Amino acid sequence: MINSMGKMCAVLVLALLILPAGAPAAINTIAAENTVFLGEENLDVRLAMDGDTLIGWWASAAAIQTTSPSYTIVVSSPAAFFISPTEFSGKLGPWYRLNTSGYLNGTAFIVSDPNLDIRVMDATLGVDATENGWITTGSEVAFRITTNLYQMGQRSGVAGAPVTIKVQAPGGATYSALVNKAGATTNIVEMSVPTSPYSTGAIWDTGKTDTYPYGTYRIWAECNANSMKDNYGDVGKTYTASPALLNQERNPLIGTYYTSTVTRTAAPTTVPTTVKTPFPTTVPPTMVTTTAAPTTIATAALTTPPAAPPAAAATKSPGFEPALAGAGLLLALAFIVRKE
């Protein structure tokens, strides 16, 4: 009985020794000069404070060695400290320990405003699919994360920032893991992000339509380390926007353009037919009419002059012949008189 109890105690002791080493709570342990972020709570800053209970912040370009802090905070609970967005906003950068006399006593930690962004990459084609919101079914997807939260990797026992990638299916379900073409499964809940930018590599095969059906997916990333998202839930800070991604075989943009092209191709075919049909019909009559008019005028001109001489002879003055005879008589008399 005693031996059994001894074995149980040994197992419990061993478990207690092993658990802390891998416990995720280590992410809240802050050493001197580590970076902390707005919204983080329950931070154990005892190592950073080194026994001091007061921290101070100096405005930019201030002479920290010879001037008093611009702002001070009493650290009354160093084992559970809160980086309040309200109190620390606008006071980013190094915060220094102050001794009991109020003098500078080394750097406690550095306060930073978090930022987070995610891009959906078509790993098969090597393009960013975030902007057009569409990816070809069958392409593999990689995610590119840009953030300053990777600095959490400075903390002892922490490989990087725990960022969760949210992939929401058309039906509303959210995946906790994704599978690629090789069949490898990648957990996307609290992935460790050690650098920035960081790529997950090709982890999602959109061609597995039995698991990932056609339709529109919502994708975003978030980080709630030490409840920072709960306390500072601003888009672009502790979580990203959630762009829509259409998973289908044909690019919707190309489909729209193709429809437009067909319409434009049909239009020129109709227009020439419409133009050519009336053109020959209308133009020849116009030309015939124009030609006929000169013909009519020319005929009238030729007919009228010959008719004029008979008309003039018919209307000659009746006294013309007697006058002519009289003139001849006078000429004869004049000749006789001259002869005599």
Look at strands 93-98 and 104-112 and give their pairing: antiparallel
Alpha-carbon distance of 203 to 184, in angstroms, equals: 8
Angle at 139 between CA 201 and CA 251, to 5 degrees: 135
Q: Is 213 exposed, middle or buried (0-12, 13-18, 19+ CB in 10 A)?
A: middle
Residue ranges of the chain that CATH labels 2.60.40 = 116-250
Fold of 116-250: Immunoglobulin-like (2.60.40)
Alpha-carbon distance of 194 to 250, in angstroms, equals: 36
Nearest to 129 by CA among 137, 121, 118: 121
CB distance 140 to 115 below 8 Å: no
Helices (H), 33-79: 46-49
Alpha-carbon distance of 128 to 125, in angstroms, equals: 9
pLDDT in tens, the chain (340 residues): 445 444 434 433 334 343 443 344 499 999 999 999 999 999 999 999 999 999 999 998 888 888 999 999 999 999 999 999 999 999 999 999 999 988 999 999 999 999 999 999 999 999 999 988 999 999 999 999 999 999 999 999 999 999 999 999 999 999 999 999 999 999 999 999 999 999 999 999 999 999 999 999 999 999 999 999 999 999 999 999 998 999 987 666 555 433 333 334 344 444 444 444 444 444 444 443 444 444 333 333 333 334 443 443 344 444 444 444 445 545 544 554 454 4
Res 53: pLDDT? 96
Backbone φ and ψ of 242, nearest 5°: -120, 80
Spell out the residues 6+ positions from residue 189 whose beta carbon is closer than 8 angstroms to its own.
Answer: 164, 176, 177
Backbone φ and ψ of 69, nearest 5°: -60, 150
The Cβ of residue 203 has, within 10 Å, a number of other Cβ atoms equal to 22
Say how many CA atoms lie within 13 Å of 238 toward its Cβ: 18
pTM above 0.75, yes or no: no
CB distance 47 to 75 below 8 Å: no
